[in-house]
Amino acid sequence: MTALKCIALIAHDQKKDDMAELARRHEAELSRRRIVATGTTGGRIKEACPSLDVTRLKSGPLGGDQQIGAMIATGEIDMLIFFVDPLTSMPHDVDVKALMRLATVYDIPMALNRATAEILLTPGALGA
């Protein structure tokens, strides 16, 4: 398997603290990757881990999910970690489903919860 180039990080509002904590726990691994994130999630990650280079896109509902989807389709994203809040209704649910569909179509590793993300971010789990 080739080395990962870019990881996309997204978290619904009720999951942003979990994403920031995940970034703190795996800061060393994430520092070796290019990181893109939707707007507010990217800001929270930067607050938790100032040393990480995080490219912030638009907020998810304002097009950030679609920006990441386009990056998946063009081969720029190698892994998606998207902490979904299954208990809260999302007005942009169609965008969320489209993003997950693209990750599946383009066969990139995708974590929708912390347990899976922990496995994917284990050093060496997906290549150097």
Binding site for substrate, by residue number, is 12, 16, 38-41, 59-60, 92
User: How buried is 77 (Cβ within 10 angstroms: 0-12 exposed, 13-18 middle, 19+ buried)?
Assistant: buried
- Active-site residue flag, 13: no
Q: Other C-beta atoms within 10 Å of 71: how many?
A: 18
Rounded CA-CA distance 75/69 in Å is 10
Among residues 17, 53, 65, 78, the one annotated as catalytic is: 65
> First CA to last CA across the chain, in angstroms?
9
Residues serving a catalytic function are: 65
